[in-house]
Amino acid sequence: MKQFLLLFVFIFTFSTAQSQENLPTDYLSKEFHQGRREAFRNLMPANSVAVIFSYPERVFSRDINYNFHQNPDLYYLTGYKEPDAVLLLFKEPQGTEKYTEVLFVRERNALRETWTGRRLGIEGAKSKLGFTKVYNGVDFQTFEIDYKKFDKIIYDDFQTDITANVLPESLYELVQTFKKKAGITEENPDSTTLFYNITSSLREIKTPEELVLMRKSVKLSCIAHNEVMKAVGPDMSENEADGIHRYIHRHYGAEDEGYPPIVGAGANGCILHYGENNSTKIDNQLLLMDVGSEYHGYSADVTRTIPANGKFSPEQKAIYELVYEAQEAVFKICKEGTPLIALNETAKDVLAKGLIKLGIITDAKDVRLYYPHSCSHFLGLDVHDKGIFNGPQTLIKENMILTVEPGIYIPANSKCDKKWWNIGVRIEDDILMLKDSYENLSADAPRKWQEIEALAKQKSTFNEMKFPKI
């Protein structure tokens, strides 16, 4: 029996080593993550410790989980992509070893890895992530640390859907151990706010390494949008258009989408976060596509609105041109030093005047009936990424990435002429803020109505695909 187990371990180890081939080579480097930990530590107050947990695994169906998505803050600071982990960061060196960080990871386990995939383990975290002090998660319970000696314990809000688990290395037990050792009976707003401010101040400004990944994520998303513009037709379903996006994302190496794709035709395009994507025919309507890839953790967020038959009707064109005009007006003030709220105020002003001119509203304040959201949000590791917003005094900074996404949505039974009903238009681009200007990262996907109609005349590879009938 012992010989059999040794043989199993040998076979497992050999097959795991073989399966490591042909992995992407453009992940963020361990030096990047080390630099982010140092930047975090520099913002910590004296005599403090920060505790950052992984996200929980989430149930898809009974005993099947969704694909795991790491806590973006933990990924940002470590590069670790597995569940059941916790990172400790110390402001000052600790103990005789003078360590400033400790990472607890999932233990290597040949049998479990056969079922659920490779684990990095202690040695992998040391060699690939650059940590020197790494333990298995089960050791968190016995790790000697006196939280009472610190003036400040910094941690994020605890996830509310962590499932109780008897395994001592589970995320549930890691959190319970921390709460017990630190004497936490309820969340401390000061500690969680400090954590949010530190991570937000870091993540709102993108480093050169991050910009490489952001550019790729946005670029491949634009390719997907362009392909749908060529392939779309009245008989296509929303789900099929969604599928073209997803296929192209995977073709270029994106692991996922940054959010559930919004692919809505006609009335569905007037639902801001429409997610069913199940209309079987787009018909001669506008198709609003808010779809962006997630590439190595970084999310694009691109929206284009196109006519399914390749040509805008007069009413569709009028609304589209108004949204385009609003976006162009916002672009003119995109640079460092502009008040963040000015982006939305500019878009709102243009849209209000345009809707009045079209006779859709008579009072500027009613623009909110058809433009109910804001123009911009931070973009990065989360589609609605972290950033610090303190009201009117918040200014745009160089190397922020913000969306610019004005829109107009006129659902049926709106108090305007019926000819406008069920027209929903949003144009959304991902904008890198520069010192005196901006860079439109999503410029590869056409925005002008003339360019969209021209692209719609081209044939797509997907038009030639034939499948058996069922």
Q: Which residues pair with 99 in a beta bridge?
A: 94
Of the residues 426, 430, 438, 447, only one is catalytic, namely: 426
| Nearest in space to 425 (alpha carbons), one of 370, 348, 350 | 370
* Dihedral-angle region of residue 157 (phi above 0 means left; psi in -120 to 50 means alpha; beta otherwise): beta
Residue type present at position 228: V
320 an active-site residue? no
Of the residues 301, 382, 429, 430, only one is catalytic, namely: 301
385 an active-site residue? no
417 an active-site residue? no
List strand residue ranges (DSSP E) for 248-400, in order: 256-257, 262-265, 286-290, 293-295, 298-299, 303-307
251 an active-site residue? no
Distance CA 58, CA 64 (A): 9
225 an active-site residue? no
290 an active-site residue? yes
Distance CA 392, CA 395 (A): 8
Of the residues 108, 255, 373, 439, only one is catalytic, namely: 373
203 an active-site residue? no
Of the residues 58, 69, 108, 384, only one is catalytic, namely: 384
Of the residues 21, 62, 63, 363, only one is catalytic, namely: 63
Of the residues 405, 429, 430, 447, only one is catalytic, namely: 405
Of the residues 101, 385, 428, 430, only one is catalytic, namely: 428
Taking the CB of residue 289, how many other CB atoms lie within 10 A of it?
Answer: 29
Of the residues 247, 273, 276, 451, only one is catalytic, namely: 273
55 an active-site residue? no
- 3 state SS of 407: strand
CA 246-79-81 angle, 5° bins: 55
Distance CA 404, CA 396 (A): 13
Of the residues 80, 370, 409, 438, only one is catalytic, namely: 409
Of the residues 156, 173, 238, 290, only one is catalytic, namely: 290
63 an active-site residue? yes
Could you give the residue numbers annotated as active site? 63, 273, 290, 301, 373, 377, 384, 405, 409, 426, 428
